[in-house]
Structure 1
Amino acid sequence: MVRQDVMLVIPSLSSGGAERVMVELAKKWASSHKLNIHFVILTDLEDFYSLPSEITVHRLGYPVSKTSKFSKALMIIRTMFRFRVLVRNIRPTFVLSFMTQTNIFSLFSLFGLNIRKIYSERNMPKKIGKHFYSFITKYSSGMILQTQELYSRLSQVGCDLKKLHVIPNPVAELNVDKYDLNRNYEILTIGRLVEQKGHRDLLHAFSIFVKLNPEYKLIILGKGPLKNELIKYAKKLAIYDQVTFCDPISNIESYYSRAKYFVLSSKREGFPNALLEAYCYGVPCISYDCLTGPADIISSSSEGLLVPIGDVESLAQAMHRFANEPDLLMGISQKSVESKKKYSIESISDKYLEVCLGR
């Protein structure tokens, strides 16, 4: 039986949630479905994730370093041309791209080619452009969304509903210790150090919380342009000695295995991978109730605590509840691990493949 060629496209293999999901899909399809995976990386950013040798990697080398607008435009055109030639030579059964800018890049690069093109929107857009999304949907074979809320919004701007599919992210297979109350007094958060992730709110809330719970430490796992600013803010709040900033690591299990509970302070999300992982591995979770994502995972108070966006006092109160109600922690932990099968890579990868193949 001839193995089918399929193509996955993403800007880089940096330490983000979308990158992890695409890597997991590629590995699963290569091993379980015996597909020839062509993994296209558009930029020259350094890899965080790795791929097995049976997956063919194509690096188009678009430079992310600052250049003039003219040089940047030329490089975009050059990269689009290289990508189109690559697709025409391989003739994959389908091309799956992640992230808005990559979806636009793929759409225009492959315009006119008779090939299945699947786009996945990985975030909740600040503004739903009627013509923008209806145009992308029209010239795609399908669009994969992560939440029902985004599906509802796109259905109101003229998108072809037959092409819209809601599939959540898979949870990675991790070796995380079973939850118990003897864990370190550590509160964990994971995410890029950017404005969207709301780390200033979390630091503020922690400064309120820690006055009554001085034994706790806050672990912030992630890197980004706001790191120095956040360090200064922690010092201003006089909590710097109780906050640890760590760069992302591939062996994340140790953090989930130590954390007493997890907090997500994002103001906007698509489908938060770190929250999902912590939740499925039994780490009790608190999250801002941003428009999409957290409420899809934490659907009731027996599964975690949701806090209104920007309400720092309520965030601190939720943290205080977790620190002082051990029965609540254990109940949430036991409830959440029951959902792990729903988000397994086996289940989610099959759903993706059905959409990509048009079954």
Structure 2
Amino acid sequence: MTRPRLAILAPFKAWGGIERKIMILCHEFLALGVQPQLILTRGGVVPYPDELPKEVEIVDLGSGGKLDSVMKLTRFLKHERPAALLTAKDHSAKVAILSRILSRTDVPIFVKITNTLSFTLRRPMKRRSARWLYGYADRLIAVSGGVRDDLIENFGIPPEKVQVIYNPTVTPSIAERKTHPVDHPWLQGDGPPVIIGVGRLTPQKDFPMLIRAFAKVRQQREARLIILGDGPLHDELITCAREAGVGDDVDLPGYVSDPIPYLARGSLFALSSRYEGLANVLIEALAAGLPAVATDCPSGPMEILQAGRIGPLVTVGDADALAQAMLDTLDNPPTQETLARGLDRFRSDKVALQYLQVMGIKSSGVQAAGNGLSGSVE
């Protein structure tokens, strides 16, 4: 039996959050009898080449700008006719929709929306083009209920066209990855508790607020703070820590390819973001067994922490509230049973099956539900 082919389009980098999720989905799609095809455009590269299954087909369009990508993808759709085309990132979504229109094919287009677009699409022209073009997609797949609400309320997308499918964050490999060694001196099993933050060092993550909150924690107890990630605010954050009087207790070791070993050895995870799509690292922290606190930002933390039942939620930008939440959780951490509650929603095998059901792709042992689904997947 020939495997149905699922084309996946994004301006892939060698690593990144979206790239990791696509790599995980490729593993699961293959296990479910579906053949993934990664479509590379505009200098895109193979994501996570050491982890991507060799069975995944790589199709490099060799395109230049957006117009060239549209023309080459149009030819691909005419000749290859995949069962469906899944896109991630705004640029790819628009290229895919324009190509489908020009190709005059019936290849269904599914657009994965990974962030709250009213925050990320700031230019009026980009917002208008998204409002117009996204209506031509067969279905938008939002990574959280908050992202879905934003699409409906701020971009005029009909509710029946937006499906919530959480990211495939919880994988069988997490148990083994937790055991990988970490050479950071603060995570060797002794010393004061270590609070961990993870993310790109940009204004979105609001790490200056996290450092201010941590300084308030340090006024009451010994603790250390590690922030994993790189980005343009690195030097500013070092200065912020020094000015707050905690320079010796804050470390920014840079980007790490896998935060799970660090999370497994920390005492507390803190998410200080101003906005998110889903906040995958918050899920990873819980899956690694690490207690967590988070800002109640749009969107994701409220859904992940189940309105505060799994971990505290605080107002965005409120350093005092975040500091108190961190102190309370360090003093009275939740049980491992509490942390694991609700993680099934993010299991990679279940998520991949939901994708195939929404896209109407039938495979070995899979009964596709077609395009009749709407709303959240529980």
Answer whether TM exceeds 0.5 for this pair: yes
Match of residue 111 from structure 1? 101
Match of residue 365 from structure 2? none
Contact 2:292/2:312, CA 8 A, preserved across alignment: yes
> Which residue of the other structure, out of 226, 230, 236, is the alignment partner of 2:233?
226
Matches within 5 A, 1:233-272: 233-272=240-279
Deviation per CA, 1:168-200: give whole Å up to 9, x if none. 11223212659xxx7762111111111101111
One-letter amino acid matched to 1:196: Q
Match of residue 293 from structure 1? 300
231-240 or 285-294: bigger deviation: 231-240
1:49 and 1:42, CA in 2 relative to 1: closer, same or farther beyond 3 A?
same
345-354 or 88-97: bigger deviation: 88-97
266-275 or 202-211: bigger deviation: 202-211
Match of residue 3 from structure 1? 3
270-279 or 52-61: bigger deviation: 52-61
One-letter amino acid matched to 1:17: G
> Which residue of the other structure, out of 130, 145, 162, is the alignment partner of 1:148?
145
1:298 and 1:314, CA in 2 relative to 1: closer, same or farther beyond 3 A?
same
The Cα shift of 1:299 comes to: 1.6
Sequence identity of aligned pairs in percent?
A: 25
1:241 and 1:47, CA in 2 relative to 1: closer, same or farther beyond 3 A?
farther
Match of residue 92 from structure 1? 82
Query: Partner of 2:163: helix, strand, or coil?
Result: strand
Match of residue 139 from structure 1? 136
Match of residue 366 from structure 2? none
The Cα shift of 1:83 comes to: 2.8
1:247 and 1:346, CA in 2 relative to 1: closer, same or farther beyond 3 A?
same
* Mapped pair 1:39 → 2:46: no
1:43 and 1:78, CA in 2 relative to 1: closer, same or farther beyond 3 A?
closer
Contact 1:133/1:154, CA 8 A, preserved across alignment: no
The Cα shift of 1:47 comes to: 6.2
Matches within 5 A, 1:1-359: 1-30=1-30, 32-44=31-43, 49-50=48-49, 51-60=52-61, 75-113=65-103, 114=105, 115-126=107-118, 132-156=129-153, 158-173=156-171, 174-175=174-175, 185-214=193-222, 216-325=223-332, 329-331=333-335, 333-357=336-360, 358=370
Query: Partner of 1:269: helix, strand, or coil?
Result: coil
Distance of 2:208 and 2:45 partners within structure 1:
28
The Cα shift of 1:132 comes to: 4.5
Distance of 1:258 and 1:48 partners within structure 2:
27
Distance of 1:86 and 1:224 partners within structure 2:
36
Match of residue 182 from structure 2? none
Distance of 1:259 and 1:194 partners within structure 2:
23
The Cα shift of 1:348 comes to: 0.7
Deviation per CA, 1:212-231: give whole Å up to 9, x if none. 222x2111111112222222
One-letter amino acid matched to 2:162: L
Query: Taking structure 2 as the reference length, what is the TM-score of the superposition?
Result: 0.82
Contact 1:286/1:304, CA 8 A, preserved across alignment: yes
1:33 and 1:304, CA in 2 relative to 1: closer, same or farther beyond 3 A?
same
Query: Partner of 1:95: helix, strand, or coil?
Result: strand
The Cα shift of 1:248 comes to: 3.0
One-letter amino acid matched to 2:334: M
The Cα shift of 1:14 comes to: 4.6
Gaps of 5+ in 1: 63-73
The Cα shift of 1:45 comes to: 6.2
1:8 and 1:230, CA in 2 relative to 1: closer, same or farther beyond 3 A?
same
Query: Partner of 2:297: helix, strand, or coil?
Result: coil
Contact 2:10/2:88, CA 8 A, preserved across alignment: yes
The Cα shift of 1:261 comes to: 1.0
Match of residue 184 from structure 2? none
Match of residue 71 from structure 1? none
Distance of 2:21 and 2:55 partners within structure 1:
18
